[in-house]
Structure 1
Amino acid sequence: MKKLILSFGTLAVVATSCQSNARFKDEIATVDSLQTRLSLYDVRMDSVDESRLREISPEVNELYDYLVENYPDSLDRSFWVTQVNGMVIVKKGADKYLSFHDKVQKEIDYTQEQLSSLRKSLTDEKLTEEDAEKYLSDERQAVSEIGMYVNKLQGPAQLAVVMWDTLHPRMRALADSIQALP
């Protein structure tokens, strides 16, 4: 008899715990999905070689400034389109990533905390349905904005690192040839 009562008691607890999340089951799944997206954005930001960008950035800026200020023919379309364009791509990719990396990383960390808190509140059913939907909408918006920033920063930064290795010797040679002019 004790086993029967214990079994029913255990079954009741399990049934109650399964039903407690049923109210916000879809919302919890959405939070889990947002957390996964956020983790992927974090990995994408980490995939950029930030130390390499910090290493090349001063030389990129110095070389770019020198070429723009000292190239003798300011109307030479070929120079501006084919030569300097690569430098512009590298400069913008590196500068933007280095300028916004910390801000985006803080947003990722903060939003991850908010999502964890929201998930806990949904699991514990501490929110009304209206509040849950409002908070979920806010977090969706935050994750979308972070995704937009990551898309704008990650690709150009990686391209900057890759391009610099081939572009650097040509630009250095060009700067040296300009310096050699009388």
Structure 2
Amino acid sequence: MNLDTDGFYSWGVRDRMGYRGAGGVTDRSGRAVELLFAALRDLSPGATGVIRVVRLDRHARNPSYLPGQIVFRVDTDKATRVFVEDATPYRRAKLMHTWEPHTPHVGHVRVHETSCCDEYQFASEAGVYFVLRWTGDGYEETGRGSYAATARTRLELTQHHRHATQATW
């Protein structure tokens, strides 16, 4: 049993019509991949599978998980059923950040640091860290998780960030 609340993997599949197939949560990434491929084999060609990092939501009334970044995505070819790795094996996932609408879970959000032009905000609530950005319609978040994991996400975003008002000297 894994007692680290940052080390869980959620996997799930959908058929080509968008209907949900099997899914679940495990504490081992390799097991999540095995279960994902087994579930895809049971669906018709054109199905899609996704693995994402999840955290146990300690503040929820009923047991639930807070979704994190997608770390693996695979599709089956519509004609041949061959597995086609789509976008995000874990080693490249660090450069692809999935932005989702930010919904406060408990109390107040604390902003620890902002980027040069305030485009990215390194924030937390109830001990969970994430990066926020303003879209004009509301905030989006990425990198939800432990301090260390979210700090890496913040660093990657700010290293590749160039804004019109950023000084070039």
Both structures adopt the same fold (TM-score exceeding 0.5): no
Give the structure-1-normalised TM-score.
0.22
Q: Which structure dedicates a bigger proportion of its chain to helix? A: 1
Give the structure-2-normalised TM-score.
0.23
User: Relative contact order (alpha carbons < 8 A, sep ≥ 6): 1 or 2 greater?
Assistant: 1
Q: Which structure dedicates a bigger proportion of its chain to strand? A: 2
